Amino acid sequence: MEYSIVLSLPNKNIDVAKLNDLRQSGSFNVENILINYKVSTIKDITLYEFDLSGEGKCYISLCGRGKTQYYSFDGIVKDERILRQSPHDPYNYHFKIDGTAVPMVACCNGTETDVFVSDAPAFCDNYTTQHFLPEKEEVYLSSGDPGGTPNYVGDTMNEYFHNLSEKNHVYKFISFKTKSVTLKSIRRDMFKAVNEVWGMGGESAYHAVSFSSNYMHYRRNETGTSDYWIVAGIQYGNTQYNRDSFWQCWIMPNEISEQCYWANSKASVLKAENALFFVIWSYEVYKNGGKVKKDICDVAYKKIIDTLNLFGDGRYCPPGEPDGSYRNWFDICCYERDDADAYSQGLCVCALNCAKELGYEIYDWKEKAISYYMNLYNGEFVQMSMKKPYLALDYTVGELLNYVLFKEKFIPDEYVRKTYSHIMSSKANTPYGVKIVSDVDGSYLTMDSFGAYGYVHPEMARMELGRYANGGSYHIYEMLFHIAAYIHGCEGAVDNMIHRLMIDLDYDGATHEYMHTLKGNGVKANQGWNAVICAMWDRLLSRGEGDIRYFVEADKKLDSIE
């Protein structure tokens, strides 16, 4: 293979230099464009940095030419493709692009692989592309877009060149060689390289996967509420979801986390349980020495108090749609307006603690909220909600957050131990993970159980058994469920964490939004919010809690991938 740097202009491509000819630093002047470059080495990884200035429009690419096996992040590419990371419309949820989660190209000769990865799409205004032309024996890793959708029917994608008259264009990518020749092992090595250059570094493959997959979800915020924000995954286009980004930012550096925090708007915090998350996130920012977005925090605090005042007895029933849907993460499950669910009730307690630390008056709401939460325990387990007497894994999310932030538990050990034992010994525990919700004996729920007032959301009604909210196993919520069990002294909790992680990693070397509990397939690889598990367990370990076996087994599994 031969590799070179190519400058793309609106009417032509120009080979600038062979990659191997680039020194530690230098410059080229091409078509009134000055290209300054730097080359540095971090361990066995080479970082290339290009700074383009001058006149006109352009983008720059790494080009590989030669006969080889071409890989994208998703696998072998056999025909022409232009893969992208962003549809460039934060308001289009139903976009159709030939997309892949990581801006990567790899060239494998059967015994070793050359891997090239762009910096996060955010730093190219979301225009990173990978153009594969196997028939011509060419591949391009680019900072712009050549336009078109070869061999794919979807949204129209136009060409894009960075305008140098507006600002300099900076493009960075890394390169390394590996003996890995399978998709799983190439992915692992790629994540470790990204973490080494743009993350914390270190030897942990599990940390690298958790950090790097999220780092590659970082985007330019095209709505203008902040410079940048983070998307939950490639399936979510270029939109940040407040709840997801809160979890994702646990593993990100403070400067990235604060960008995502500042992306929240007044309108967004009024929806579902977002007011709770925003106050909790505000406390995290404050605790880390950052600046709290006071005007929006005031709105979120008022929303919490107004919601508590609806009934006055301590129950927290988040706002949703008139049909009862979209009141919390379980968006297409409908609740009656006066029904309190354990997930939101626990989050409310944590948010009130955070509000107090931020200087807000919480009156006696914390005591009332805890008291109401206790009513959800029926003697055998903590119910999903007051009117939904089912098993649900998310019932300890708020208390776990409260414990990590304040070292305070508010659910009695007995309640958690009995609930944990009940769920883990029931039909809810499947070979593909524990069902997110289930009936009292662990069976799949009937469809009417997800409804309210006799109404079931159409999206829910179409959901097959074992998929998504209809009894799927969510990585984040099951792992938070096990961590909460651990802090309450439940036997086997760490072993169950390890087992659940292996279910994902054995599937394809990644973690997923959920596992289908009947078919066993993982859906939405590299779901960003899963990274909170690594970050939260690390935080517990740093203060003398947790069990290092979880990290040891995670790394052993990832490092054994061939």
DSSP string covering 69-118:
EEEETTEE--S-EEEES--S-TT-TT----B-SS-EEEEE-SS-EEEEEE
Q: Structure tokens of 401?
A: 């957050």
Is residue 232, in this structure, part of any structural domain at all?
no
Q: Could you tell me the sign of the dihedral formed by the alpha carbons of 290, 300, 376, 474, in that order? A: negative
* Residue finishing a domain among 175, 198, 221: 198
What distance lies between CA 46 and its chain's CA centroid?
Answer: 27
Q: Are residues 469 and 357 in the same domain?
A: yes
| Closest by CA position to 370, among listed 323, 415, 325 | 415
148 backbone φψ class: left, alpha, beta (φ>0; ψ -120 to 50)? left
Q: Are residues 354 and 267 in the same domain?
A: yes
pLDDT at 562: 87
What ranges make up the beta strands (E) of 119-254?
129-133, 138-142, 162-163, 169-178, 218-220, 228-230
Domain count, the chain: 2
Q: How far is CA 180 from CA 46, 115, 177, 190, 194, in A?
A: 18, 10, 9, 10, 16
pLDDT at 237: 85
Q: Are residues 289 and 155 in the same domain?
A: no
* Residue finishing a domain among 180, 198, 216: 198
d(CA 123, CA 259): 14
Q: Structure tokens of 159?
A: 């060409």
Q: Are residues 257 and 192 in the same domain?
A: no
23 backbone φψ class: left, alpha, beta (φ>0; ψ -120 to 50)? beta
| Residues in contact with 143: Cβ distance below 8 Å, sequence separation at least 6, in sequence order | 59, 60, 61, 118, 124, 127, 128, 162, 169, 171
Q: Are residues 171 and 75 in the same domain?
A: yes
Q: Are residues 249 and 193 in the same domain?
A: no
Strand order in the sheet with 522-525: 473-474, 512-515, 522-525
| Closest by CA position to 209, among listed 561, 558, 553, 562 | 558
Q: Is 3 helix (H, G, I), strand (E, B) or coil?
A: strand
Q: Are residues 12 and 143 in the same domain?
A: yes
Is residue 511, in this structure, part of any structural domain at all?
yes
| Closest by CA position to 206, among listed 479, 486, 493 | 479
Is residue 229, in this structure, part of any structural domain at all?
no
Identify the bridge partners of residue 145 per DSSP, sorted by sequence position.
160
Whether 247 contacts 529, CB under 8 Å: yes
Q: In terms of residue numbers, what domain contains 22?
A: 2-198
- Taking only Cα atoms into account, the Rg of the chain, rounded to an integer number of angstroms, comes to 25
d(CA 523, CA 531): 16
Is residue 208, in this structure, part of any structural domain at all?
no
| Residues in contact with 372: Cβ distance below 8 Å, sequence separation at least 6, in sequence order | 313, 314, 315, 316, 340, 345
Q: Are residues 478 and 396 in the same domain?
A: yes
d(CA 343, CA 351): 12
Is residue 287, in this structure, part of any structural domain at all?
yes
What ranges make up the beta strands (E) of 129-220?
129-133, 138-142, 162-163, 169-178, 218-220
Label the pairing between strands 129-133 and 512-515: unpaired
Global pTM value: 0.94
d(CA 57, CA 55): 7
Is residue 107, in this structure, part of any structural domain at all?
yes
pLDDT at 93: 82
Query: Residue 383 corresponds to which amino acid?
Result: Q
* Residue finishing a domain among 140, 174, 198: 198
Label the pairing between strands 113-118 and 25-30: unpaired
Is residue 503, in this structure, part of any structural domain at all?
yes
Q: Are residues 190 and 305 in the same domain?
A: no
Label the pairing between strands 162-163 and 57-65: antiparallel
d(CA 81, CA 98): 8
Is residue 222, in this structure, part of any structural domain at all?
no
Q: Are residues 273 and 155 in the same domain?
A: no
pLDDT at 91: 85
The total of other beta-carbon atoms located within 10 Å of residue 305's CB is 16
Q: Are residues 188 and 247 in the same domain?
A: no
Q: Are residues 423 and 543 in the same domain?
A: yes
Whether 161 contacts 59, CB under 8 Å: yes
**Domain of 284: which CATH number?**
1.50.10.10
**Residues of the chain falling short of pLDDT 50:** none
Q: How far apart are the first and last CA of the chain?
A: 23
412 backbone φψ class: left, alpha, beta (φ>0; ψ -120 to 50)? beta
